[in-house]
Amino acid sequence: MAGRIVTSVEVARRAGVSRSAVSRCFTPGASIAPETRDRVMKAAKALGYRPNAIARSLIAGRSRMIAVVIGYMENQFYPALLDRLARDLQDLGYRLLLFTGAPEGPSDALFAEILGYRVDGMILASTLLSSALADECRAAGVPVVLVNRTTDSADVSSVVADNRTGARAVAEFLLAAGHRRFGYVAGIASSSTNQDRETAFRERLAEAGIDTLLREDGGYTQQGARDATLRLLTRPDRPDAIFCANDHMAIAAMDAARVELGLRVPDDVSIVGYDDVGPASWPSYALTTVEQPVEAMVSAAVETLMARIAGEGAPERTVRIPGELVVRGSARRPVEGVTAVGGREIWRPQSLPRSAS
């Protein structure tokens, strides 16, 4: 049979069953007698048959493919997210189709290409969804869920970490450790994730009577964070604590402080990140950071998307998943409030500081 495509008609003839029986045998979740399945599979193996997924999608009106758009893979949060998405979707009989775009750029340019694959749904991570694209997705009947960002539109569902609560916890942790001069390495200004983290961090410091926050843009990149950290730490009034908008930048900040400036972390400066990516737990970094619970976020995103695909008519929603502040060695420790839970140390104070005095 080498050199040509074997059809389902040939498999059905060899197995002595109908063509529809062959189709059911290769359709996830379809009902078929075990004996019939065994005959079909033996015939398919003997003939070298492989089902044509594209042809089946045209017949069924479903491709069982989910488009996932991710802006950049340097940040190790996204490979972890992608791995979990692929496994959860596969368990449901779907396949992931990956597209890459600008880290925080609009995804509109990818839309025509994505629709060309007749995807059943779309997950956008680290990319912006314009209102025009959201309207086009609805018109085309393609459900969309945002992950790790939100939009002003009430017509799009999103799943995010509880960024505001997490950033407030960082401020409370650093205040409790006695810090009074703060720096912030920002991501991209248009990112809802950065906006939530920065705003909540500022607000909590202001509640404690601290109105000055030294801020530099890191742009979510290693080089940007390195440059931002050097600018902060070579000032005459340099901060003694720096909060970075994600771990990718926090790791670059630690390298800049220690290797290029010869500073001790956390003795000279505390550095805290956000995400709890794999390298954060490596002994060479031991980064104190707020976790983004990938498993819970992916579970909520997939559940929301499947409900949209099934047409259950539930309203669009924003799901916020809380994460713990994981305490390691990159930041000065408060006297109280650090608790051992599940093999790691986390910040759970009994009472929270309210004043800088």
Containing 125, the helix (H) or strand (E) segment is strand 121-125
How far apart, in Å, are the Cα atoms of 28 and each of 6, 23, 25, 64, 260? 21, 10, 8, 10, 56
Cα-based distances in Å from 61 to 57, 64, 120, 127, 234: 5, 9, 9, 28, 60
Where residue 128 falls (left for φ over 0; alpha for ψ -120 to 50; beta otherwise) is beta
pLDDT digits 0-9 by tens, 155-174: 788 999 999 999 999 999 99
Task: Please write the tens of the pLDDT for every residue from 231-286.
Answer: 999 999 999 999 999 999 999 999 999 999 999 999 999 999 999 999 999 999 99
In CATH terms, are 8-51 and 65-161+294-321 the same topology? no
DSSP 229: H
Q: For the purposes of burial, counting CB atoms within 10 Å of the CB of 207, is it exposed (0-12), middle (13-18) or buried (19 or more)?
A: middle
How far apart are the C-alpha atoms of 248 and 264, rounded to whole Å? Answer: 20
Q: 214: how many CB neighbours lie within 10 A of its CB?
A: 17
**DSSP character string of 130-188:** -HHHHHHHHHHT--EEEES---S-TTSEEEEE-HHHHHHHHHHHHHHTT---EEEEE--
Quick one: pLDDT at residue 118? 80
What is the three-class DSSP state of 83? helix
Which residues share a beta bridge with 69?
99, 124
Are the beta carbons of 325 and 143 closer than 8 angstroms? no
Residue 179: count other Cβ atoms within 10 Å of its Cβ: 23
> Would you tell me how many other CB atoms lie within 10 Å of the CB of residue 67?
24
The CATH label, of 3.40.190.10, 3.40.50.2300, 3.30.413.10, 3.30.230.10, for the domain at 163-291+324-347 is 3.40.50.2300
Q: Quick one: pLDDT at residue 297? A: 95
What is residue 128's DSSP assignment? B
Number of other residues whose CB lies within 10 A of the CB of residue 338: 17
Does domain 8-51 fall into CATH 3.10.129.10?
no
Give one word for 168, left, alpha or beta, with left for phi > 0 and alpha for psi -120 to 50. alpha
The CATH superfamily assigned to 65-161+294-321 is: Response regulator (3.40.50.2300)
Which of 48, 65, 47 has its CA nearest to residue 56? 65
Distance separating alpha carbons of residues 116 and 120, to the nearest angstrom: 11
The residues pairing with 65 across neighbouring beta strands, listed in sequence order, are 95
Domain boundaries, the chain: 8-51, 65-161+294-321, 163-291+324-347
Per-residue pLDDT of the chain (357 residues; tens, 9 = 90+): 445 678 888 889 999 999 888 888 877 667 889 899 999 999 988 888 877 655 555 445 567 889 898 877 888 899 999 999 999 999 998 989 988 866 565 556 667 677 777 889 989 886 666 666 666 777 778 888 989 888 776 778 899 999 999 999 999 999 999 999 999 999 988 888 999 999 999 999 999 999 999 999 999 999 999 999 999 999 999 999 999 999 999 999 999 999 999 999 999 999 999 999 999 999 999 999 999 999 999 999 999 999 988 887 777 788 999 999 999 999 999 999 999 998 999 999 875 444 343
